[in-house]
Structures are given as structure tokens and as C-alpha cells.
Amino acid sequence: KGWRSQKGKNRGCVLTEIHLNVTDLDLGYETKEELIFRYCSGSCDAAETTYDKILKNLTRQKKLVNDKVRQACCRPTAYDDDLSFLDDNLVYHILKKHSAKRCGCV
Amino acid sequence: EPALSKGNNCLDAAKACNLNDTCKRFRSAYITPCTSSTSNDICNKRKCHKALRLFFDKVPPKHSYGMLFCSCRDIACTERRRQTIVPVCSYEDKEKPNCLNLQDSCKKNYICRSRLADFFTNCQPESRSISSCLKENYADCLLAYSGLIGTVMTPNYIDSSSLSVAPWCDCSNSGNDIEECLKFLNFFQDNTCLKNAIQAFGNGTDVTVW
């Protein structure tokens, strides 16, 4: 039961994909090739660990007034395979760690 | 601009490849070694060849042939097609060896020897047959041809105006073997069976054999 409810809490943080032109990435490449860009989005509101729970409680009790503590963020925990493409001047380029493969509240 | 990009089948094939997880992975897996310069060379040719062989072994022909045998109407397309195998690393070399010498080095390697034999068997032209191939099987000819990519006999398109292909060799300094050398080279450069097979794939005709 614990596992199920724990998992359900962060259902908000999910992998989403969008079909783009490489030029949409605005990284300075001139090419007509395309890609699938995958990213992580959704909320990590529900405290995932005891650590997060303690931070939340301490913030509520105003015991951490001077410190900026961050809640968990929905971020890639693994990246997609490299992407290669040929640009308009017939030069190859390779993008690494450009697209998410798995997401998590970290 | 739209007129030029219209019907660039090679670009469409590259797009389709990157939208397919398997093709995208194995494409990057050979682009990386084929474009990484080493301390004293433009690339590690051995690693580039190995990754190219893996690409043609693992990626479905729909995608791999799509990029290698795409049909073209303009130079932007044919140049892209010529760049598919990253010729500056996988194909070109400082010197052009004699084709018969290259054939000898191919025969010393198990993979190269068997794939060259497959190519001569499956792309054998026959002027009296409808397909121009003795074996009447385009798929087997294209498989044998693409199988040579990543061996010392790696072939590529030699110009941007035709479907003529050749390995990186010529027939200068052939001595008495000049006829044998030209026969070997012309099997690549002037092979109606292979040309028809490439054309049939590019035009999407003769779909039944795939």
C-alpha cells in the first residue's frame, strides 16, 4: 500500500514529448533535420522523502527563515540517446544530454 | 527554396531516422567515431567502420536504405546521400590503392572476403533478364552492397550526377593485370543490376521484394 500511495503522489511529474525542427532549439545550427524532444514536467508538491517532509515542516514553523530551501523539482533522471544530424553545409553535429529519458522528483 | 527542398528524399529519410529510436541511436553511434579526430588522424577509421557495420546490421532497411539509396533530383540531395557514410573518414584515404591490391587486403579479412563474394554473386548483371540481374533479386543485391560498407572495400557514390559507385581504388599501375583490374572496378562503377536495384528502392517501385 505504501508503495502505491508513494508512487501516486508524484504522478504529476511525467515525461512529455514534442516534435520539433532542430532549428527550434535555437542552438545556432542551420539544418532542416528534425527531432523528438522529451522533457519533464508536472508538480512535485507531495513531499517524497522524510527529508522533504522535515523541510516543509521547518519552513512552516519558520525555523529556517534565512535559508532558501528548495522543494523537489521534476527533472530528468536519465537522458535520451545522442542525436546526430547533418547541417546545410554538410557538417555533422551530435547533441548529447539534450532530451530526457526518465523523470523524477529530485 | 521550397522548389529546391521539394522531394529531397534523402532529407526525409534522415528525419524519419531521427524520429525512430533505433535508427537514431545507431546513426549517432557511427557519426560519433566517424567525425571524432584523433591526435594524428582525422578519425579512427577502424572504429568508424565497425559502427557503420553495426548500423547496417541492426537498423531496419526501411531506414538504413532510405538514407543510402534515396532518389534525388538536385545536388543538395545527392550531396547528402554521398555524406551518409561520412566518406571523409570511412571512404577517402591519403592514397588511392590499386583495386587488385585492395581486393587482396579484403580477401585477408573474413568479413570482407565473404561480403565481397556475396556482392559478386547477388549483383551479377544479366542483360537478358528483365531486372538486369542474374539472380533477379534486388533486395539481395542491395543487402550485399550495403554489407561492404565498413570493410576496406567500402563503396560510395563517386559523383553527384549518377548512381555510379566505387570503392576507394583505381587501376593505375596495374601492369599486365589492367584488364582484370578494370573488370573488377567496372563491376561497381558500371553495374546495371546494382543501378536498377538502387533506382527501384529509391522510386518505391518493385516493393514486393522488400
What are the pLDDT digits (tens) for A55-104? 888 888 888 877 677 778 999 999 999 999 999 999 999 999 999 999 99
Task: Say how many residues make up chain B.
Answer: 210
- A92 at interface of B, judged by CB pairs closer than 8 A: yes
Chains A and B form CB pairs within 8 A to the count of: 49
Q: Which amino acid is at B179?
A: E
d(CA B210, CA B199): 14
Nearest-CA distance from B53 to chain A in Å? 17
User: A51 vs B35, which has greater pLDDT?
Assistant: B35
pLDDT in tens, B81-119: 999 999 999 999 999 999 999 999 999 999 999 999 999
- Locate the chain B residue with the closest alpha carbon to A95: B28
Q: How far apart are the first and last CA of chain B?
A: 34
Confidence of residue B147 (pLDDT cuts 50, 70, 90): very high
d(CA B25, CA A83): 7
- Reported ipTM: the value is 0.89
DSSP string, A26-90: -SS-----EEEEEEEES---S--SHHHHHHHHHHHTTS-TT--PPPP-EEEEEEPPPEEEE-TTS
Judge whether B167 and B92 are in contact, CB under 8 Å: no
Residues from chain B contacting residue A81 (CB–CB below 8 Å): 21, 24-25, 28
